[in-house]
Amino acid sequence: MLSINLDRETENYLAEIISEENISSDELLKKLIYEHWQSLKLRKT
């Protein structure tokens, strides 16, 4: 389990994203981590 503290501005961004995308914060975080990991792999090759 991961617990993070976000500033108010970032919390607002998060709320807007999960509302627009209709996903949970867990799903969003998984997606963002995977996409970043993929971009790192592409840079290494």
Residue in 21, 22, 23, 28 with CA at minimum distance from that of residue 6: 28
Average pLDDT of adjacent 10-residue blocks, the chain of 45 residues:
92 97 96 96 83
Whether residue 6 contacts residue 14, with contact meaning beta carbons closer than 8 Å, is answered with yes
Give the list of residues 6+ apart from residue 17 with CB closer than 8 angstroms, or none: 28
C-alpha–C-alpha distance, residues 43 and 9, integer Å: 31
Provide the pLDDT for residue 43: 86
* pLDDT the model gives residue 44: 82
